[in-house]
Structure 1
């Protein structure tokens, strides 16, 4: 898929490895359960849109993880895809930001995974439906050489017709009484290739997308997908060159009670997102 192919957050990036997370700016909110849903007759909006998000953005892990460097399960440079325990590993998380996007990832395999995961989150957010914030995100996560072409493609993708079909106004805002939900949640990441100044990383994700509200005809549903991102080291950080997306791996739905629209809206607004570090 070309550099501009992105998944939006109404749709839906397996791999071994682990991520460690903390809530940076989250507020408290009401917990909701994911309900068993009937088979869907169509793909989520992101899939319908056909835009594959390059990768995630936003992550600053406070808890340092320490692992025993002699632990054979710990990921090592030069062994992409190696199985690893769920304990956090790696160097301290990034502390810099370009707007809302984390910056200053390490120039190693762990840094590439952290960048890819953070960029996937940013590119799968509700902000992608708004022209100004979409441009800010793209300029923050893509390599300068491809930014303009990606912007043109995404502006065409998030057309007035597409945004309207998603139930939003021309500025990407949800109707009164509803909440736009578009949140990508990475489950894991692994390095497929690494060569010092370039890397290919897979990020396995689930996504929540839809309109939460009593009168919504687009209920919030979940999708699963894997994003394969190609990154390059430029201007002191990892940046995206291109990405592609594939469905799954997808687990069987659990038996949790499906929550009401208000419960979903309160949870999405009340719980902040994560910053990721590998």
Structure 2
């Protein structure tokens, strides 16, 4: 995914507080000081009276709820704002964009939300296997970069994607995949954060997870996982967000789990069988 770094660190790449109440006097009915409790007749009578009162209250609440059901419409105006409603888990925010250029989402909203969505979508193709193909790479750059930034990035990447680099990631010298192998280079946005925003400019950080390697029985460059954060500077140009420049740094990386590593065939089939997403929020 990234020239010069097999770890994919290159150019592109309320809490709820729970309280537990312990039973009073766990010593077989004793009180907190260990003194046995005495059961009295008056105590039993009082308990029965309390049960009766509670039962009446429950019945009254049920009757009121039944009478106020209305016609089934959701009356959220009078609902307690602290309590969940039928719309508590409904999707929020802008709807995903429906435009595409070179297979990449376009037409983002001119808002912080739209800028974050744009940055997340740009991170995916910039860290894809298509970047290793000159013609596809140029198409990606023209789709996601600001026009004035395209020539600069084309020149820089042409110098980076060279025969030695291709060989370093397991590819042929021309960037093609050896017969019998599946080349994997994928970037998955985990989250985004706005660090600066104005009417026509935005800076967005995109936390990503990446895959890079060659899947195959005798591969010496197995597919590995890496974590990194991309920082993109965006500009509002001709009614859409475009990337002007960006930087990248490693992490934050979680502690690796104890999952069994899949074999090359499983990885290859997963890459072929699972497509990507259009990210929007």
- Please report the TM-score for the alignment, with normalisation by the length of structure 2: 0.70
Q: Deviations over 1:141-181 (max 9, x none)?
A: 00001110110001111112211222212442211111000
2:229 aligned partner:
226
Give me the whole-angstrom Cα distance separating, in 2, the residues matched to 1:123 and 1:234: 19
SS at match of 2:11: coil
Taking a change above 3 Å as real, the CA distance of residues 198 and 96 of structure 1, as seen in their structure-2 partners, is same
1:229·1:242 contact (CA, 8 Å) conserved in 2? yes
Give me the whole-angstrom Cα distance separating, in 1, the residues matched to 2:93 and 2:3: 32
1:52 aligned partner:
12
SS at match of 2:279: strand
| Structure 1 runs not aligned, ≥5 long | 1-7, 12-42, 54-70, 73-84
Give me the whole-angstrom Cα distance separating, in 1, the residues matched to 2:171 and 2:111: 40
Taking a change above 3 Å as real, the CA distance of residues 162 and 112 of structure 1, as seen in their structure-2 partners, is same
Count of equivalent residues: 209
SS at match of 2:8: helix
2:3·2:160 contact (CA, 8 Å) conserved in 1? no
1:142 aligned partner:
145
| Structure 2 runs not aligned, ≥5 long | 14-80, 83-87
Give me the whole-angstrom Cα distance separating, in 1, the residues matched to 2:268 and 2:90: 32
Give me the whole-angstrom Cα distance separating, in 1, the residues matched to 2:164 and 2:8: 14
Larger radius of gyration: 2
1:126 aligned partner:
129
Give, in angstroms, the shift of residue 45 of structure 1.
5.3
1:202·1:226 contact (CA, 8 Å) conserved in 2? yes
1:156 aligned partner:
159
1:96 aligns with 2:99: yes
SS at match of 1:274: coil
Give me the whole-angstrom Cα distance separating, in 1, the residues matched to 2:170 and 2:195: 38
- Please report the TM-score for the alignment, with normalisation by the length of structure 1: 0.71
Give me the whole-angstrom Cα distance separating, in 1, the residues matched to 2:92 and 2:158: 38
More helix by share: 2
Give, in angstroms, the shift of residue 229 of structure 1.
0.6
Q: CA RMSD in A?
A: 2.1
Give me the whole-angstrom Cα distance separating, in 2, the residues matched to 1:197 and 1:133: 28
Taking a change above 3 Å as real, the CA distance of residues 86 and 231 of structure 1, as seen in their structure-2 partners, is farther
Give me the whole-angstrom Cα distance separating, in 1, the residues matched to 2:131 and 2:119: 17
1:9·1:183 contact (CA, 8 Å) conserved in 2? no
1:186 aligns with 2:189: yes
1:240 aligns with 2:243: yes
1:256 aligns with 2:259: yes
Give me the whole-angstrom Cα distance separating, in 2, the residues matched to 1:277 and 1:152: 30
2:190·2:207 contact (CA, 8 Å) conserved in 1? yes
Taking a change above 3 Å as real, the CA distance of residues 255 and 87 of structure 1, as seen in their structure-2 partners, is farther
2:166·2:172 contact (CA, 8 Å) conserved in 1? yes
Taking a change above 3 Å as real, the CA distance of residues 162 and 196 of structure 1, as seen in their structure-2 partners, is same
1:68 aligned partner:
none
Give me the whole-angstrom Cα distance separating, in 1, the residues matched to 2:196 and 2:145: 19
Of 194, 209, 213 in structure 2, the residue corresponding to residue 210 of structure 1 is 213
